[in-house]
């Protein structure tokens, strides 16, 4: 039986790596993928605590997060495709139409 600190540490590591990916990368698709990584890190945390308390609520929450991530990925990629068709770019730096 692993002490729960291990799972928290793993979850934190993945979260921070995902956060670095979101902030550092220019390609918006890779930003979206890093967001998926962050959601996964949260899932690990939830499922670890669910196991340690014997309560299924954590796993139910994780299942909802997976469903939500799917919806968000679909809509986000739809927006990306629509934007790419107009502007021919996927770099976050060049999406500056709202800049003054």
Beta carbons within 8 Å of 89's beta carbon, 6+ residues apart: 95
Rounded CA-CA distance 98/83 in Å is: 14
* Binding of other proteins by 3 (CB under 8 A): yes
* Binding of other proteins by 87 (CB under 8 A): no
Rg (CA), the chain: 17
* Binding of other proteins by 42 (CB under 8 A): no
Q: Which residues bind other proteins (CB under 8 A)?
A: 1-10, 12-14, 16-21, 23-27, 29-30, 32-34, 36-37, 40, 43-44, 47-54, 56-57, 59-60, 62-64, 66-75, 77-82, 84-85, 90-91, 93
């Amino acid at each position: 039986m692993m002490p729960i600190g291990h799972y928290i540490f793993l979850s934190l590591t993945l979260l921070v790596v995902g956060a670095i990916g979101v902030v550092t990368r220019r390609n918006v698709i890779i930003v979206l993928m890093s967001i998926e990584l962050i959601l996964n890190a949260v899932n690990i945390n939830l499922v670890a605590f669910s196991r340690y308390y014997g309560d299924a609520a954590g796993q139910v929450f994780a299942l909802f997060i997976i469903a939500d991530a799917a919806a968000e990925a679909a809509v986000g990629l739809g927006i990306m495709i629509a934007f790419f068709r107009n502007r021919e770019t996927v770099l976050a730096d060049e999406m500056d139409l709202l800049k003054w």
